[in-house]
Amino acid sequence: MTGDRATLRDGREATPAEDDDPYCLRPGEAQALLDGHPWRRFAVLGDSIAEGVSEPVPGYSPLPLADRVAAELSRTSTRLTYLNLGRSGRRTHEVRAGQLASALAFEPDLALVVCGANDALRPGYERRADAVDRDLAAMIRALQACGAEVVTVSIFVRGQYPSLPSWLKPTPTERMALLARRTTALAAELGTLHVDLADHPAAADPSTVSSDGLHGNARSQSVAAAEAVRLLGARIRR
């Protein structure tokens, strides 16, 4: 049955293959959703999530979020051109300073902007949150002004981040939840297509986390890509 999991001999649950994962794309779903899409130039800006830092999981596509979305868009349009400017470790002001000009020069009609986690996970984010929002808003507005449909993301909020110090106050979970709320509110204000993964059921599943205890693995990437593709599909049919 779809979504059921086998149990391994040591009692651990086996991760379902992507085709049977209730949160992932069904075979042929992306092509049906994206058929006839209008986008020809897809730009991605951001941090490690944009770049695609991940870890393989048997049975799941190895493509991270942005690459997977580009691949699915390309299946229904051989004219798609894709530029990924994402770089691991970048904070929002660094994305704006180092990537926005190149993205605008590319003249995208579709852009994915995903950043803020490297700001939120640092102590003092609460005091800097307005500045983070201003940098994100500036990028969104600039991309929209050049004619791009902009996609934003509130990433998975984990119940724990074992690779980060447990003494941090507010906790990493509280900081990431604040970032998610602020990003979602900004997306509503500016009219982006917003992929809200913060409270997604997969966020609480340890089978979606890489061994670094921080980044999503291939299952996490596939779930995120499914939500993004479905959002784009809904946009096409508005």
For the chain, which domains are there? 25-236 (3.40.50.1110)
Cα distance between residue 55 and residue 76, in whole Å: 27
3-state secondary structure of 237: coil
How far apart (Å, rounded) are the C-alpha atoms in residues 36 and 21?
Answer: 26
Q: Tell me 7's DSSP state.
A: B
| Distant-in-sequence contacts of 28-31, Cβ < 8 A, 24+ apart | 29/229, 30/72, 30/75, 30/229, 30/233, 31/72, 31/75, 31/76
d(CA 225, CA 219): 10
Tens place of pLDDT for every residue, the chain, 238 residues?
233 333 333 333 444 589 999 999 999 999 999 999 999 999 999 999 999 999 999 999 999 999 999 999 999 887 899 999 999 999 999 999 999 999 999 999 999 999 999 999 998 999 999 999 999 999 999 999 999 999 999 999 998 887 787 777 889 999 999 999 999 999 999 999 999 999 999 999 999 999 998 999 999 999 999 999 999 999 998 8
Strand 193-196 relative to strand 41-46: parallel, antiparallel, unpaired? unpaired
Instruction: For residue 231, give the amino acid letter.
Output: L
